[in-house]
């Protein structure tokens, strides 16, 4: 999940997303990226107005809010590929 983290600029959509994703945490590793850090400037330039942004296996998945049906579909697809089918 790409997010901005500034004391003066909280991210309620990021907090909401983490809550929604909690039941799925056993199916993927959630990596939070603070796009305001200098080493993440490419992400900042790309997504500064669209946080949170979600990528799954390096591919863009969704932004702003969690789309559970899209997430479930992609997780099932990855799990099937991982199982050899």
For residue range 43-55, what is the model confidence (pLDDT) as tens digits?
999 999 999 999 9
Tokens of 30: 């959630």
Its pTM stands at 0.82
Query: What does the CA dihedral 68, 55, 52, 18 come to, rounded to 10 degrees?
Result: 50
Tokens of 5: 């983290």
Residue where the block lists tokens 């799925």 = 24
Per-residue pLDDT tens digits of the chain, which is 85 residues long = 666 654 446 789 999 999 999 999 999 999 999 999 999 999 999 999 999 999 999 999 999 999 999 999 999 999 999 876 5
- Cα separation of 65 and 54, whole Å? 9
CB atoms within 10 A of CB 16: 14
The full set of domains in the chain, from first to last, is 2-82 (3.40.30.10)
- Cα separation of 53 and 55, whole Å? 7
């Amino acid at each position: 999940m790409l997010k901005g983290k500034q004391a003066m600029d909280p991210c309620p959509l990021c907090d909401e997303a983490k809550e929604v994703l909690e039941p799925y945490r056993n199916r993927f590793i959630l990596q939070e990226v603070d796009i305001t850090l200098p080493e993440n400037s490419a992400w900042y330039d790309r997504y500064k107005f669209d946080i949170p942004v979600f990528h799954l296996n390096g591919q863009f998945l969704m932004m702003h809010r969690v789309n559970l049906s899209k997430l479930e579909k992609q997780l099932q697809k990855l799990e099937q590929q991982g199982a050899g089918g």
